[in-house]
A and B are shown apart, each in its own frame.
Chain A
Amino acid sequence: MPPVSTPAVVLHAFPYGETSKIVRLLTLEHGVQSAIAKGARRPNSKFGACLQLLSEGTAQLYLKPTRELQTLAEFDVIVQRPELARDVDRYAAGAALAELVMRFSPAEPHPEIYQLVVAELDHLATVAKEELDAAALGALWGTVCALGFAPNIGVCARDGAELPGGTVAFSVADGGFLCRRCARGTATSKLTASDRQVLERLITGRRAEIGSLSPRHAAAHRRLLARFVERHVADGRELRALDFWQGHS
């Protein structure tokens, strides 16, 4: 059987054996796939330096649906993103994005997630430093929503009641904003009117309207996102790259 050819992004790559690598690829047409790239760590390998984290290209894959580990025949790199490695914060955000997709993408192909990841990686690589916090938060909230875990921000997450204007309570456990009645006696994060607006913009993809966040606000938003993801997406399982991003940035 000939290999299939598909656009792909390298989400993770780690050494295997003496000279090979195992890569986790987000492909446009075949979802997330694990594949072995034989001999990829030799300096004269046909893979050269192509299989770098977060680079994008065309993968030739020998796919067998019954196998967990596929074989990567070739990878023609189209975009590498060395800018991400020149700034630890950009890199941390890219790795957290890769982790979310790698761990929680549905098995079936999901072209929207592919397009989103590619666009967000480009944005993370090039966005002005003062807008990086908003860019990273927007990329991760956007991915959470695309994966089907959007928080409830339109009406009360518990009983569907109308939400108050201005300051509002966000309940990680309930997965969104709560009305005043439900918020009573519940552990919530109080969001001021401006923080609420920022969160609404992050979730609805209007982060261009946010601009730069103060370090304190950015940290609070990172914590909120990390707690939400741990609870609703990861089911309490450890997310190392997300932790790194949350703690380091």
Chain B
Amino acid sequence: MSAIEELIGEFAKLPGIGRKTATRLTYFLLKQPGDAARRLADAVHGIADRVRPCSVCGNLGEVDPCAICADPRRDTSVICVVEEASDIGAIERTGEYRGLYHVLGGHLSPLDGVGPDDLRIEGLRVRLENGTTIREIIVATNPSMEGEVTATYVRGVVERPGVRVTRIALGLPVGGDLEYADSVTIARALAARREMAT
């Protein structure tokens, strides 16, 4: 395969990029002056080599534990459980949350073969068992059926005396993925979070 074909093929694997766009991107790079293509390659190398999941919370970053877990100013009594590391950015942008996070790495989806063992749920249980200061778990999975059932499952795992389990107030009627929601909506949903019914 030629170098051009190879890059088109790789671009085409990205979400939202078809063969046509992949071809356009490739030829765009070829026409750029200087070392534009090399800088892109270095940046891709950078994420492949340096970025890894935090061994505590699953957040993505270049240090382990991640900057949030390592920050002494964060409130260690609250953990916000999210589906994807990209959801952390959406919540951080609100500037309203000072606690820690836990990234599940997806949601339960029996039809896609994703069960509890495929998510970082056991790690959450371990954190709770070792962290005596944890008083609240905020479940901020997406407002979808899959997000709801995942929240239900997580509640079952983390429930214990002295720990509140709450759910952000983004109901099914809101829809959309958390990462697409604007800061005001997320801040409101956090502030209006409710105790999850058992």
Contact = CB atoms under 8 A, between A and B. Distances in A.
Given A14-B112, A18-B15, A96-B110, A88 B153 contact: yes
Contacts of B146: 53, 85
Nearest to B153: A88
Interface in B152-184: 152-153, 156, 172-177, 180-182
Given A84-B145, A85-B149, A49 B175 contact: yes
Contacts of A102: 111
A189 to B, nearest CB: 25
B73 to A, nearest CB: 31
B115 A41 contact: no
Contact of A91 (B15, B149, B156, B174): B149
A49 B110 contact: no
A47 B181 CA distance: 15
Contact of B175 (A48, A82, A86, A245): A48
Given A52-B145, A98-B111, A99-B111, A86 B152 contact: yes
Interface in A48-90: 48-50, 52-55, 80, 82, 84-88
Contact of B181 (A43, A48, A53, A80): A43
A221 interface: no
A117 interface: no
A152 B52 CA distance: 55
Contacts of A54: 145
B156 A88 contact: yes
Given A41-B180, A95-B111, A244-B115, A49 B152 contact: no
A241 interface: yes
Contacts of A53: 144-146
A95 B110 contact: yes
**Which of B111, B174, B175, B185 lies at the interface centre, i.e. has the most chain A CB atoms within 10 A of its CB?**
B111
A247 B113 CA distance: 12
A202 interface: no
Interface string B63-91: 00000000000000000000000000000
Nearest to A44: B176
A82 B16 contact: no
Contacts of B180: 19, 41-43
B71 to A, nearest CB: 29
Interface string A30-50: 000000000001111101111
Interface residues of A, number: 40
Contacts of A19: 16, 180
Contacts of B177: 41
B144 A52 contact: yes
B124 to A, nearest CB: 16
B83 to A, nearest CB: 12
Nearest to A95: B110
- Of B15, B110, B149, B175, chain A has the most CB atoms within 10 Å of the CB of B110
Nearest to A81: B145
Nearest to A247: B115
Given A88-B149, A244-B115, A43 B175 contact: yes
B111 A49 contact: no
Contact of A49 (B108, B115, B144): B144
A11 to B, nearest CB: 8
Interface of A: 12, 14-15, 17-19, 41-45, 47-50, 52-55, 80, 82, 84-88, 91-92, 95-96, 98-99, 102, 240-241, 243-245, 247-248
Given A91-B110, A91-B149, 8 more contacts: A17-B15, A41-B180, A45-B175, A47-B175, A48-B173, A49-B173, A86-B148, A96-B110
